[in-house]
Each structure stands twice: as C-alpha cells, then as structure tokens.
Amino acid sequence: MNEPDISTRIRALMASGELPPHPYKGLTNMEAGHRASLDEQCVICQENGPQVSYTYRGEKSVRLHSACDALWRAEPPG
C-alpha cells in the first residue's frame, strides 16, 4: 500500500470506529517493539508483522506497523 492509500484506509477505519480517532484517548498500554505472531496483521495495511501494539479500556487492541502508526498519529481526527 502506498501512503495515500494508507491515509484513506486510516480515515475509513476511524469513521467505522475500528480505529480510535485519538490514538492516546482511553489507552491503557502501548508497546513498541511488539513481537507479532506469524499470522498477525497490521490493522491498517493488513500486512503481517506489526511492531506497535495499543490496548484500550475494554481490552480492545490495535496492532500496527511503525510506519502505519506514524501516519495514523499524524491524521487529524475526523
């Protein structure tokens, strides 16, 4: 996926509620250097091997590649 496609997907995921519009609101744990299982995918680009993990109240988890995470955090809340 290229950067414009990732940004479009981020906005769609935020609109659907699958991805929080504010990365740190309701956050209970953040892990950089996340060790993904072989079949675990980034919620944004859907490629294997996310390196960042966010856990929110209610035990909702979001796992991302570092580059996808940076684009998400840079995306203005919709």
Residue 32 belongs to domain spanning: 3-74
Q: Which of 22, 32, 26, 17 is nearest to 59 (CA)?
A: 26
What's the angle, vertex CA 12, arms to CA 16 and CA 68, rounded to 5?
115
Q: Residue 44, Cβ neighbours under 10 Å: how many?
A: 26
Per-residue pLDDT at 45: 96
Per-residue pLDDT at 78: 60
pLDDT in tens, the chain (78 residues): 899 999 999 999 999 999 998 899 999 999 988 787 778 999 999 999 999 999 999 889 999 999 999 999 998 876
Question: Residue 1 in contact with residue 9, Cβ under 8 Å?
Answer: yes
Domain count, the chain: 1
Placement of tokens 């490629």 in the chain: 47
